[in-house]
């Protein structure tokens, strides 16, 4: 009993306060309405923005445990086509520049002058793109598993890494898609009119990506299912949005993240990366660090992959966020 108490005391995570949550909806276009939540101390809390990954995954309740609700005032929101935002799965009017303007609309809605931006994976990509566009609104950033959205990063995450580290998974994917180029086949199927086809593709995509995200996945065997069978589990949303962004080079081809890092040089940046992150390997974080300079710090987390389901990475992220609460207002 004493061991369990000590274990809980040493955890960097915080109890989630339901009373500290204020839901909101924000219309950002005739088509898109964003769902979000303000969490924590509205009066006196350090403002923060949390950006989920994917693109397309949406925020979830457990992410609030990273923040002390007595210290922070955090804005969580589901990006276009994601989570509780509507229309769900929509790729229409869904681009990186529009997401950046959505963030500004949310900031203005809550009358926040500047905030700390926290993001993981694609959320880190969007955080960097936003901070570069509106540097005077960003006090600093805490990034996890940074994805730079270069062609070589997409090539690594969706082609090279699975073939190198999960060759059994890759062979199954080829067999189940009846293709030696399974990613292209899945992207084609995700845009198919037949729900049985695009939902099956989404499930394959989701299972594959989950296997790559974890340091020790429970299995690297893809379920062998009949596409015509009734669905017994929810269809993941991320593959639809993610494939759309991949097809368009994440809408950053004209403005690569490493092309102009001058706006980022004034702000503190902590980047956390699992040493065995197969999707966004440490070299991505170091490339950004070398481009920005001394204010950017990389922390490699042992015994961790890409996902915060790996406890060492989750704990390190919570510690970094607590540290960021002490950053001065610019």
Active site residues: 121, 277, 306
Radius of gyration of the chain (CA): 20
CA dist., res. 59 & res. 80, Å (int): 12
DSSP label of 86: B
Contact predicate 260/132, CB 8 Å: yes
Q: What is the DSSP secondary-structure string of 166-200?
A: -HHHHHHHHHHHT-SSHHHHHHHHHT-S-HHHHHH
Euclidean distance between CA atoms 278 and 256, whole angstroms: 22
Neighbours of 316 (CB within 10 A): 23
Which residues have C-beta within 8 Å of that of residue 202, sequence separation ≥ 6?
Answer: 190, 235, 236, 237, 239, 240
Kindly provide the residue ranges of all beta strands, DSSP E only, lying in the chain, ordered along the sequence.
21-27, 33-40, 46-51, 72-77, 115-120, 138-144, 269-274, 296-301
Q: What is the DSSP letter of 149?
A: -
CB atoms within 10 A of CB 15: 10
Record the tokens describing residue 25, joined without a space.
Answer: 């909806």
**What distance in Å separates the CA atoms of residue 291 and residue 146, rounded to the nearest whole number?**
14
- Non-local (6+) Cβ contacts of 330 within 8 A are 114, 136, 139, 266, 267
Residue 321 in contact with residue 118, Cβ under 8 Å? yes
């Amino acid at each position: 009993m004493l061991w369990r108490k000590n274990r809980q005391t040493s955890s960097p995570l915080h109890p989630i306060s339901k009373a500290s949550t204020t839901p909101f909806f924000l219309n950002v276009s005739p088509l898109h309405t964003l769902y979000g939540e303000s969490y924590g101390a509205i009066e006196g809390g350090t403002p923060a923005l949390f950006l989920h990954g994917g693109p397309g995954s949406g925020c979830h309740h457990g992410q609030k445990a990273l923040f002390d609700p007595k210290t922070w005032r955090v804005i969580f929101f589901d990006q276009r086509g994601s989570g509780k935002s509507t229309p769900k799965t929509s790729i229409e009017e869904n681009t990186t520049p529009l997401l950046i303007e959505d963030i500004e609309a949310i900031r203005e809605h809550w009358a926040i002058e500047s905030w700390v931006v926290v993001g993981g994976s694609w959320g880190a990509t969007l955080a960097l793109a936003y901070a570069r566009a509106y540097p005077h609104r960003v006090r600093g950033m805490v990034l996890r598993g940074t994805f730079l959205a270069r062609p070589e990063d997409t090539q690594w995450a969706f082609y090279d890494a699975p073939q190198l580290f999960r060759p059994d998974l890759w062979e199954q994917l080829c067999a189940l898609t009846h293709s030696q180029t399974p990613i292209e086949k899945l992207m084609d199927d995700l845009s198919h009119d037949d729900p049985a086809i695009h939902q099956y593709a989404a499930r394959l995509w989701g299972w594959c990506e989950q296997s790559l995200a974890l340091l020790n996945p429970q299995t690297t065997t893809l379920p062998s299912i009949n596409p015509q069978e009734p669905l017994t589990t929810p269809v993941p949303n991320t593959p639809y949005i993610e494939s759309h962004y991949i097809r368009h080079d994440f809408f950053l081809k004209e403005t690569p993240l490493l092309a102009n890092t001058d706006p980022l040089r004034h702000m503190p940046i902590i980047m956390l990366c699992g040493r065995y992150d197969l999707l966004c390997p440490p070299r991505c974080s170091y490339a950004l660090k070398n481009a920005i300079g001394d204010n950017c710090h990389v922390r490699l987390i042992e015994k961790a992959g890409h996902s915060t389901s790996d406890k060492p990475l989750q704990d390190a992220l919570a510690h970094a966020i607590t540290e960021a609460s002490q950053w001065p207002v610019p």
